[in-house]
């Protein structure tokens, strides 16, 4: 179809190397919608007649139905889906009609229109899944706001926190992932259609009208920018990669905590796997795989950035390499978020084990030092040193903070007199977390407040998402309405 300038047909090897027909099926319906909008615009601007437009649109509808019924068999010798559809329209309603569909358009703006239409829907899908995961974490935060566990730095017991505080931290991370996705959406949902090959066109097109029919927020003003740029692809992939890095952190915590040494959580039986040889094994594969699949999404981002690097302005064929990694990354992310959500929903939280692991550690040492500052009027560094030597001496005698007599004796040597009740009070991890006062701290009260704020955010984002989805639906309806009007 595109061989007018050539003496020979395309080499099968080059065709196999360069064709994108199979991958393009991903945005088949978007290509049809984009063509409908384009043809409606051509008729409105009297670039083609209403009659021509009606014929073309009828053909497009037939093709779309055929595709839905699994009967549209794309021809791989026709490079991509755009040429396949145009070819079918010409076949079906003749060159006199079908041959006019591609007036004032190029595949360069067409492929980008399809990509953006498809991608925006995919982003909304990921956002929805992340909102659900965030909700699950917030429910855990509320339920376990006062259930103590060790907080870690360097993977060493650091200070007591609560399981709810831990869950709220991940909900808080996800709110930034949601914001990144929402920002990416803004840069995705702008219309390249009408940019044509790179320079625009001498036909009196109305780009704002097509953008409206397709539910875009705006048109990309520069035709050259519209066809040259894939930063919206990289931006989305970056948001996805960062999201996966957060999920991989979450996974790592869960893998560790379901080990024999921790026993803090246990995945439900239907969300764990066994070993082919060791009958006793219950493996947290789901979390390991979310951690593992993160590599695929980082890979996709690198692939996209590498394709983009150093390309000259204008359309370059390299650019068609953007979609495969993008769709793959979206697939991995959607599944990973859903799996993580289901895994967390079914997991058993072993509160007793978490609390017990604080029994003989020294994680309330910071609180003891703080107490010496507040009640005994010591400078913090002095209190820190005294508490440090207390721990050193207790460890050397194989004692813990629970050995109150020893604690008192050792402190007294440093000139600190302290009552029994003070010691048991300060060194109790449960009381300790209730004493935290600062904004964003691990106190049950703050955990509830953080969770409430994040939940309000979550609801607002869900509302914004719904609005974006409704705008897309309204645009589809508008296109249908304009088609009906064209026929009257
Ligand atoms: N199949 C191509 C792509 O995926 C469509 C654009 C082709 N444009 C061109 N000038 N060869 O990017």
Does the pLDDT value for residue 281 go beyond 90?
no
Of 105, 142, 110, 99, the residue nearest 28 (C-alpha) = 110
Q: What is the mean pLDDT of residues 19-38?
A: 97
Query: Is the CB of 193 inside a 6 Å radius of any atom of ligand 1?
Result: no
Q: What is the pLDDT of residue 78?
A: 95
Return the SS3 of 315. Answer: coil
Does the pLDDT value for residue 282 go beyond 90?
no
Q: Which of 222, 275, 313, 412 is catalytic?
A: 275
Average pLDDT, the chain: 97
For ligand 1, the distance from its centroid to the CA atom of residue 2, given in whole angstroms, is: 12
Q: What is the pLDDT of residues 90-143, one digit of tens each?
A: 999 899 999 999 999 999 999 999 999 999 999 999 999 999 999 999 999 999
Of 107, 116, 69, the residue nearest 86 (C-alpha) = 107
Q: What is the pLDDT of residues 313-362, one digit of tens each?
A: 999 999 999 999 999 999 999 999 999 999 999 999 999 999 999 999 99
> With bands split at pLDDT 50, 70 and 90, how would you rate the model's confidence at 257?
very high
> With bands split at pLDDT 50, 70 and 90, how would you rate the model's confidence at 237?
very high
Query: Is the CB of 458 inside a 6 Å radius of any atom of ligand 1?
Result: no
Query: Is the CB of 320 inside a 6 Å radius of any atom of ligand 1?
Result: yes
Q: What is the mean pLDDT of residues 245-270?
A: 96
Q: What is the pLDDT of residue 255?
A: 98
Among this protein's residues, is 259 annotated catalytic? no
Q: Give DSSP secondary structure letters for 160-229.
A: EEEHHHHHHHHHHHHHHHHHHHHHHHHHHSEE-TT-TTTT--SS---HHHHHHHTT-SEE-S-HHHHHH-
Q: What is the mean pLDDT of residues 291-304?
A: 98
Q: What is the pLDDT of residue 4?
A: 84
Q: What is the pLDDT of residue 278?
A: 86
Does the pLDDT value for residue 251 go beyond 90?
yes
The secondary structure of the chain in percent helix, strand, coil, rounded to multiples of 5, reads 70, 5, 25
Asked if residue 285 lies in contact with residue 274, where contact means CB atoms within 8 angstroms, the answer is no
Q: Atom 10 of ligand 1 has which residue's CA nearest to it?
A: 108
For ligand 1, the distance from its centroid to the CA atom of residue 108, given in whole angstroms, is: 6
> With bands split at pLDDT 50, 70 and 90, how would you rate the model's confidence at 198?
very high
Give 179's strand partners: none
CA-CA distance, 178 to 176, in Å (whole number)? 5
Of 191, 189, 229, 232, the residue nearest 210 (C-alpha) = 191
Q: What is the pLDDT of residue 248?
A: 98
Q: What is the pLDDT of residues 135-188, one digit of tens each?
A: 999 999 999 999 999 999 999 999 999 999 999 999 999 999 999 999 999 999
Query: Is the CB of 20 inside a 6 Å radius of any atom of ligand 1?
Result: yes
Query: Is the CB of 80 inside a 6 Å radius of any atom of ligand 1?
Result: yes
For ligand 1, the distance from its centroid to the CA atom of residue 127, given in whole angstroms, is: 29
Return the SS3 of 348. Answer: strand
Q: Atom 12 of ligand 1 has which residue's CA nearest to it?
A: 320
Atom number in ligand 1 closest to CA 80:
1
Among this protein's residues, is 187 annotated catalytic? no
Q: What is the pLDDT of residue 20?
A: 96
For ligand 1, the distance from its centroid to the CA atom of residue 324, given in whole angstroms, is: 14
For ligand 1, the distance from its centroid to the CA atom of residue 65, given in whole angstroms, is: 25
Query: Encoding tokens for residue 418?
Result: 């302290």
Query: Mutation test of ligand 1: which of 14, 24, 317, 327 has the most ligand atoms closer than 8 Å to its C-beta?
Result: 317
Q: What is the pLDDT of residues 385-429, one digit of tens each?
A: 999 999 999 999 999 999 999 999 999 999 999 999 999 999 999
Q: What is the pLDDT of residue 404?
A: 95
Q: Atom 4 of ligand 1 has which residue's CA nearest to it?
A: 320
For ligand 1, the distance from its centroid to the CA atom of residue 345, given in whole angstroms, is: 44
Query: Is the CB of 112 inside a 6 Å radius of any atom of ligand 1?
Result: no
Query: Is the CB of 319 inside a 6 Å radius of any atom of ligand 1?
Result: yes
Does the pLDDT value for residue 471 go beyond 90?
yes
Atom number in ligand 1 closest to CA 197:
10
> With bands split at pLDDT 50, 70 and 90, how would you rate the model's confidence at 2?
confident
């Amino acid at each position: 179809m595109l061989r007018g300038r050539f003496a020979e047909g395309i080499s099968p090897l080059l065709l196999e190397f360069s064709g994108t027909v199979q991958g393009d099926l991903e945005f088949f319906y978007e290509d049809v919608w984009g063509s409908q909008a384009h043809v409606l615009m051509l008729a409105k601007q009297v670039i083609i007649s209403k009659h021509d437009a009606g014929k073309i649109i009828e053909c497009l509808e037939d093709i779309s139905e055929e595709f839905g019924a699994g009967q549209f068999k794309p021809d791989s010798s026709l490079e991509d889906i755009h040429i396949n559809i145009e070819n079918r329209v010409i076949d079906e309603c003749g060159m006199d009609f079908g041959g006019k569909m591609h007036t004032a358009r190029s595949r360069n703006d067409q492929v980008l229109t399809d990509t953006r239409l498809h991608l925006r829907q995919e982003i909304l899908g990921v956002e929805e899944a992340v909102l659900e995961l965030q909700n699950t974490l917030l429910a855990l935060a509320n339920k376990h706001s006062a259930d103590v566990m060790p907080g870690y730095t360097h993977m060493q017991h650091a200070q007591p926190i609560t399981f709810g505080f831990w869950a709220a931290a991940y909900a808080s991370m996800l709110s930034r992932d949601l914001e990144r996705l929402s920002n990416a959406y803004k840069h995705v949902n702008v219309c390249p259609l009408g940019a044509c090959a790179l320079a625009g066109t001498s036909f009196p097109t109305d780009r704002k009208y097509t953008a409206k029919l397709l539910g875009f927020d705006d048109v990309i003003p520069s035709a050259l920018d519209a066809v040259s740029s894939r930063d919206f692809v990289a931006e989305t992939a970056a948001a996805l990669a960062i999201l996966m890095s957060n999920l991989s952190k979450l996974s790592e915590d869960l893998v560790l905590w379901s080990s024999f040494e921790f026993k803090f959580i246990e995945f439900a039986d239907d969300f764990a796997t066994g070993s082919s040889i060791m009958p006793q094994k219950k493996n947290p594969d789901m979390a390991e795989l979310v951690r593992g699949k993160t590599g695929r999404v980082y890979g996709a981002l690198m692939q996209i950035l590498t394709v983009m690097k150093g390309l000259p302005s204008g359309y370059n064929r390299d650019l068609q390499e953007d979609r495969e990694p993008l769709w793959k990354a979206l697939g991995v992310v959607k599944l990973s978020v859903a799996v993580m959500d289901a895994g967390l929903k079914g997991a058993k939280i072993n509160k007793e084990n978490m609390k017990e692991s604080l029994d003989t550690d020294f994680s309330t040492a910071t609180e003891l030092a703080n107490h010496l500052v507040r009640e005994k009027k010591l400078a913090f560094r002095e209190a820190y040193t005294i508490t440090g030597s207390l721990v050193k001496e207790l460890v050397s005698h194989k004692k813990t903070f629970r050995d109150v007599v020893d604690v008192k004796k050792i402190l007294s040597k440093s000139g600190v007199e302290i009552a029994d009740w003070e010691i048991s009070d300060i060194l109790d991890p449960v009381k300790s977390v209730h004493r935290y006062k600062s904004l964003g701290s691990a106190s049950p009260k703050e955990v509830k407040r953080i969770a409430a704020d994040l939940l309000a955010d979550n609801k607002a984002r869900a509302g914004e998402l719904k609005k974006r989805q409704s705008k897309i639906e309204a645009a589809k309806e508008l296109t249908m309405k304009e088609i009906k009007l064209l026929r009257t």
